[in-house]
Structures are given as C-alpha cells and as structure tokens.
Chains A and B, each alone.
Chain A
C-alpha cells in the first residue's frame, strides 16, 4: 500500500523534472556501440541483464526503479532477483565463481567487497569500464567514505547505490518530558551518560517507567559489534591496524564495549535479546528516547504512518555521541558491482551509472527512500521535506566516518572477524566473561585469521 503510493507519486514527479536531467544519459546511450562488453541494445535486439540483489529492496527496485531506468535505456531489460541477507554473500560467491554465472551484476554489502573482489571476477569500473562511462559522471563528487566501500587493492569494483550509516535517532518528546535539551551533534558520551537515567521515565508523569533511554543492538548478532565499534572509533581507537592486526584489546576497547554494555541499564526490559527489529519497534512505539540504528529506517520511523506511531517533527537524527576524538558512526554501503564474466558489462554498468548519477540518486532517495552518496545530491534540496535533515546528517556522518575510518575491517576475511567479534562479545553481554577477557579472546582469534 505505502509502496504503491510511493511509486505513483514518484513517477508523476519524475515526469516534471525528467526531460532536463535525462539528456546526458540519453547521449550516453548513443555513444559508441557494438564493441566489447556488449551494447546497450536496440529495439530489434534488446539486451537482458539479471541482477542478484538483497530481498529487502529487490521487489521495490524491480517495480519502481527499473521502469524509470527504462525511460533512458528502453532496450535493456532488467530482471532483479532477491536473496535474503544471511545467504546473499554465499550465493553471490557461488554464482560469480562459476564458469557461466547466472547473473550479470550484483549488489554487494560493505564488508563483503574485499571478499567478492578478491575472486578477480568483478569489473574495475574506473579502469575497465572507463570507455562506457559518461563524460559528466563525476567520480570526485562522491563522498570518500561511501566510495571507499567498493575500493579494493587500488581498484574501484563498485559504486555506492544504497548508502546507509549508523546514526542516532532521538525522540524530542522524551527529552522535553525529562526536562532535557534536545541533543545536538555536539553531544558527548559523558553528557549522554548523565542524561540517560533521567530518560528512564513515565511519560504520563507518575507511575512505573514506561519509557527508557536507549534501544539498539544487544543480541548475539554480527551487527551488534558495530555499535561499540562506533564508540571505539569515536574515542580514537580502531579494530585493526593497517596490517590487519587486531588492536582493540586495550583500554579504549574495554571502555567502548563497557559503554555499550552499560547502555543496558537504561534500556527497556528484555533489551539484552534485542536486535534490529526489536530495537526499532521500541523506538517506533515511543518507548525509548534514543535509538542507535541504521539511517535507512528513518522513513518507516518518522514518516510512514502505517509503521510508526511517531510524528515526523518528533524524531531527530544526528551522528552518534562524541567521544574523546570525534563523533561516532559506522558505514554500511550497498555497492553496485558488475561481473567481469558477463558479455553484457556495458548494459549492467549503464544501470549502476544511472542509479549512482545525480538524477538517479535524486530519484532513488525520493521514490524508494534509499540514501545518496554524492556531495552534490546531499547539498541539493530534496523533493521531500523530511529528507532535508537526513541529508545534512548523512553528509556529516560520511565526513566523520572518513576521518575515523569507521567501517568493518577491509579484508577478505572481514565477515569471519565480525562473526568472531559477535560471538565473543556476546559472552560479555550475557555476563559469562569480563569485558577484557572477551576482547582478548576475540583479538587472539582474529589475529589467527591474518586479515
């Protein structure tokens, strides 16, 4: 329902600003054809390309994005197959390493890029696809943090097509009821810690607490360590050094993990078992004042009345609190990658190029609610008013992430490291072991991986 309305309003709006923006892409479509990498198709012989994407957005992309793309490239037929997140990496690897992959292009999550690129079967877009790249496609316009997500060993194996950052959501009502000022991006961890006890309150005025300070990931999950990693980075620490050696089993690491664990004191009952969905629901129900969560949930949290009880003006968004070095965040970019094995490289790149161009980003953020990575898009005035504070925050988060290298280890074994972190720190959360012991054990195991 909400999806359907989203799509229809989007297309009508597109038609208005369509022609002007579409020109460069149309010109691109006319340039050199019939060389290696396949063409862009003609009316007589259209090209069919197939994408393996995450099922969180594959349907929406197929129904909303592909028709829009086809306005510019009418002879490229795009089919998008969705895979659940947990199995997507394995499925991508299995397909890509075959002699004749089923898919021409893929979406690859932030920590997976090194692993997938390592196979040698991805196209280096800056090098191999340069000839098919439009003259006005400005690589330098991308923020460095999201663009770096698809860099590996000097190659550019993808473009950011659906950017996401770990951010701090807050509920203004809770802060004002507790007699606290609404947070600003300058909010430090010390200040926030002092505020949290007051944010555990009864919103009606008296009675047992029915609102808590914080909801975020606490359960045993690979995304849970990103929270304390953001705190670690905010304090100037890092997970691994330039050589992939773990350097988090120290005071800063312990401080960060302990801070994350301490949040439980001011979190709703049962929060220890909460992950993505539960923390999100608690905030959407107005039960927590603050949520550390991925930015992409903003629309469903503050805008879509079907999924949230909160009003748009109630919800604030900003980077996570400032530590001793800087504010915190964590990067989670979906990258558009092209198989080096497909004969249809050019058509596949045309799709990613369109989607990551200024007009593609504007369309995507407005219609399907995914976030842009280009500085120019973020500086522009978005079509929907609710996107404005989000754009400002994203720009800030990208800069913070670039300064503090706030992403998962860049290694082909990144996911293995993350799994170990999740596993070992979960024991600290459950109280089985002390923080220091959990970190030591994780550090030992990650060192053995030789990232």
Chain B
C-alpha cells in the first residue's frame, strides 16, 4: 500500500536523484527492523546455539562444559521419560482452558472498565496489580485463601453449605486452581492491551454507525471487531507465548502436584535443570518444546493473517 504511494511520489522527482532516494529509502525501511534484529542476534545467538549444542552432548559438571558428543542420546532419554509426556499433556490441558478464558474475560473487562467516567483511570491502574505481584507471592496468597484449614474460600463456602473443596490436593481442583490463579494474574494483561485497542478505535466510526441506526451488536460485530482483529490476534499470540512458559505459579501453588496433576512442562524442565543439574537433557527438552511452540505459533500466525486479510 504505502510503497505504491511512494512510487508515484518519487516518480514526480528528477531522474538522477531517483536511484539515490530509492536507496536511502530502502535503508530507512530496513532501519526499522535492523536494531531489533541486531540486538536479538547479539544476545540470543550464542545461548540458543549453545543449547542446541549441549542437547547433543554430555555435560561434565566438573568444568560445566560439554565433553562428549552423544548424538541423539539425550533426546532418546527424554522420549522414554513418561514424566516428560505427562507434563506435555498437563501443559496442553492448562493452555486449552486458560487461554480462551483469559482472552474472553480480558476483552469483556476492558469493555466494562473503559466506560467513560471520572474514576476509570484509577480502575484501570488498579486492574494491573495482579500482574505486578511476584508469582511466588501470588501463589502463596492463593494457597492461603484456598487452604481447607485456614483459607477463607472454604470458610465462606461452608457458610453457604458447600464444600469443603480440596483445592490443592485433588488433581481436578488443583488444575482448576492453577488455571484460576493464572487467569487472575494474566487477564489484566489482556485487559490492558484491549483497553488501549478500544481507546484507539476512531470515534467517528461509532458515531456514523449510531446515526445509521445500527444496534450495539451490529456495531460491535461489524464495526469494532474488524478494527480490533489485529490487536486481538497479537494479544493472543503474546499471551500464548507467555503461557507456554508458565511454571512459577505451578511451583508456588501446587509444586506440580498432587501426583503430576499440575506439573507443566516448563516446571519439569526447570526441576531437571536446576535441581537435578541435568542440563543436557533439559536442553533437549527445551528444543522439543521450542519446535512444538514454533509449529503452533506458525499456525496461529497464519490464522492471524487470514483474519486480517478477510477484513
């Protein structure tokens, strides 16, 4: 779009400067991406390369360096470990419930808290607090609230004659709890971004729709949605990439238990790396997770593009 505009504009200029200006323009265009690319290559190339390398090696813990090439051994070890497969399944369950829930609640609450009144700045600022709390504290507070012995949740449920619910000790409820805490923590992120998206919607579009007599549903679906698609999609992708890596909440709230009910894959990798110091195996696992994540992200990106083009 913008390039065609550019073409016609440069076309009106004198011929000799045209090539120069096209080159400067190309440089300018690349100038937008290059800083990010250079910074990330500089900081990430070695770590990712190293991870790839040690995933095929045995680590000598005496020197903390790879000392033997073992081929696919680490990968085979990982593939044989049922704990790894369990953790992938747990992660899948968590994602399938947590992501849509957070997206829905996030946009809904963004709509609600952005009603035009004088308190909305405070409400919006207060809404980000759950995100700021360190995961270990967030997990701990929820443990306190949900503990059957001294938690207020079961106490209140008891007053209305429900429960007691073993929030953390029952596999089903433990997963429920993890999703609950994660949703509590990250819905504000969706809300934050969605608020900005709603705020940047051009006002005149709505006024035009209102004058045309469109009801709120049509306005939302036909007018707001298409404009929001890029942001919704971006928010989803960012949240997805964040959620895949979740382990701190599980560590703080349930330690991955009971059994393996909430042992998400990143928690398992963390334990293998930092507790058992199995850095080679955890590198192999990390790369497997990377590949899975990449494939799924690619699918989401394709979906994003399709949605964007449809509008």
Direct A/B contact, Cβ within 8 angstroms: yes
Interface flag for B150 (CB, 8 Å): yes
Given known A-B contacts A90-B277, A219-B255, A412-B61, A430 and B261 have beta carbons under 8 A apart? yes
Given known A-B contacts A219-B257, A285-B150, A427-B260, A119 and B273 have beta carbons under 8 A apart? no
Q: CB-CB < 8 A to B274: which residues of A?
A: 86-87, 89-90
Binds A, one of B89-97, B100-108, B166-174, B212-220: B166-174
Contact pattern, A 319-332, Cβ under 8 Å of B = 1, otherwise 0: 00000000000000
Shortest distance from the beta carbon of A208 to any chain B beta carbon, whole Å: 11
Contact B61 A93 (CB under 8 A): yes
Interface flag for A55 (CB, 8 Å): no
Contact B277 A270 (CB under 8 A): no
Shortest distance from the beta carbon of A282 to any chain B beta carbon, whole Å: 6
Interface flag for A97 (CB, 8 Å): yes
Given known A-B contacts A86-B274, A220-B259, A285-B150, A272 and B62 have beta carbons under 8 A apart? no
Contact A97 B261 (CB under 8 A): no
Using a CB-CB cutoff of 8 Å, which residues 105-120 of chain A contact chain B?
115, 118-120
Residue in chain B with minimal CB distance to A119? B62
- C-alpha spacing A375/B166, complex, angstroms: 46
Contact B150 A427 (CB under 8 A): no
Contact B166 A281 (CB under 8 A): no
**Majority SS of interface residues in chain B?**
loop
Q: CB-CB < 8 A to A416: which residues of B?
A: 276-278
Contact B63 A426 (CB under 8 A): no
- C-alpha spacing A285/B303, complex, angstroms: 55
Given known A-B contacts A220-B259, A416-B278, A430-B257, A270 and B148 have beta carbons under 8 A apart? yes
Q: CB-CB < 8 A to B226: which residues of A?
A: none
Contact B164 A273 (CB under 8 A): no
Q: CB-CB < 8 A to A287: which residues of B?
A: 149
Contact A268 B260 (CB under 8 A): no
Interface flag for B254 (CB, 8 Å): yes
Q: CB-CB < 8 A to B271: which residues of A?
A: 419
Shortest distance from the beta carbon of A71 to any chain B beta carbon, whole Å: 37
Contact A269 B61 (CB under 8 A): no
Residue in chain A with minimal CB distance to B256? A220
Interface flag for B275 (CB, 8 Å): yes
Shortest distance from the beta carbon of B213 to any chain A beta carbon, whole Å: 57
- C-alpha spacing A222/B174, complex, angstroms: 19
Contact pattern, B 168-207, Cβ under 8 Å of A = 1, otherwise 0: 1101001000000000000000000000000000000000
- C-alpha spacing A108/B181, complex, angstroms: 34
Interface flag for B130 (CB, 8 Å): no
Partner of A426, one of B168, B257, B278: B257
Residue in chain A with minimal CB distance to B65? A97
Interface flag for A275 (CB, 8 Å): yes
- C-alpha spacing A90/B273, complex, angstroms: 8
Q: CB-CB < 8 A to A271: which residues of B?
A: 169
Partner of B259, one of A89, A268, A426: A426
Using a CB-CB cutoff of 8 Å, which residues 66-85 of chain B contact chain A?
83
Given known A-B contacts A412-B61, A430-B261, A270 and B149 have beta carbons under 8 A apart? yes
Q: CB-CB < 8 A to B46: which residues of A?
A: none
Shortest distance from the beta carbon of B266 to any chain A beta carbon, whole Å: 14
Partner of A273, one of B62, B83, B254: B254
Contact A97 B63 (CB under 8 A): yes
Contact pattern, A 272-298, Cβ under 8 Å of B = 1, otherwise 0: 110100100110010100000000000
Partner of A115, one of B61, B63, B149, B255: B61
Contact pattern, B 262-274, Cβ under 8 Å of A = 1, otherwise 0: 0100000001111
Contact A120 B260 (CB under 8 A): no
Interface flag for A221 (CB, 8 Å): yes
Partner of B260, one of A87, A121, A426: A426
Contact pattern, A 61-87, Cβ under 8 Å of B = 1, otherwise 0: 000000000000000000000000011
Contact A93 B277 (CB under 8 A): yes
Most buried by B among A115, A273, A431: A273
Which of under 10, 10 to 19, 20 to 34, or 35 or more describes the interface residues of A?
35 or more
Q: CB-CB < 8 A to A431: which residues of B?
A: 259
Q: CB-CB < 8 A to B148: which residues of A?
A: 268-270
Contact A273 B276 (CB under 8 A): no
Most buried by B among A93, A281, A282, A423: A423
Interface flag for B64 (CB, 8 Å): yes
Contact B149 A282 (CB under 8 A): yes
Given known A-B contacts A86-B274, A90-B274, A220 and B164 have beta carbons under 8 A apart? no
Shortest distance from the beta carbon of A262 to any chain B beta carbon, whole Å: 16
Using a CB-CB cutoff of 8 Å, which residues 403-444 of chain A contact chain B?
412-413, 415-416, 419, 423, 426-427, 429-432
Q: CB-CB < 8 A to A220: which residues of B?
A: 254-260, 263
Given known A-B contacts A272-B258, A273-B168, A86 and B275 have beta carbons under 8 A apart? yes
Shortest distance from the beta carbon of A95 to any chain B beta carbon, whole Å: 10
- C-alpha spacing A429/B257, complex, angstroms: 10
Residue in chain A with minimal CB distance to B253? A273
Q: CB-CB < 8 A to B277: which residues of A?
A: 89-90, 93, 115, 415-416
Q: CB-CB < 8 A to A429: which residues of B?
A: 257-259
Q: CB-CB < 8 A to A16: which residues of B?
A: none
Interface flag for A130 (CB, 8 Å): no
- C-alpha spacing A276/B63, complex, angstroms: 34
Interface flag for A32 (CB, 8 Å): no
Using a CB-CB cutoff of 8 Å, which residues 213-251 of chain A contact chain B?
219-222
Contact B275 A415 (CB under 8 A): yes
Contact B276 A272 (CB under 8 A): no
- C-alpha spacing A423/B275, complex, angstroms: 12
Contact A221 B259 (CB under 8 A): no
Residue in chain B with minimal CB distance to A282? B149
- In the complex, besides A118-B61, A272-B169, A273-B174, 13 extra interface pairs with C-beta distance below 8 angstroms are A93-B61, A93-B64, A121-B62, A219-B254, A220-B254, A220-B256, A220-B257, A272-B166, A272-B168, A416-B278, A419-B272, A419-B276, A430-B258
The 3 closest A-B pairs by CB, nearest first: A220-B257, A270-B148, A272-B169
> Can you pick out 29 interface pairs between chain A and chain B where the beta carbons lie within 8 Å of each other?
A87-B274, A89-B274, A97-B62, A119-B61, A119-B62, A120-B62, A219-B254, A220-B256, A220-B263, A268-B148, A268-B149, A269-B149, A270-B148, A270-B149, A270-B167, A271-B169, A273-B167, A273-B258, A278-B143, A278-B149, A426-B260, A427-B260, A429-B257, A429-B259, A430-B258, A430-B261, A431-B259, A432-B171, A432-B259
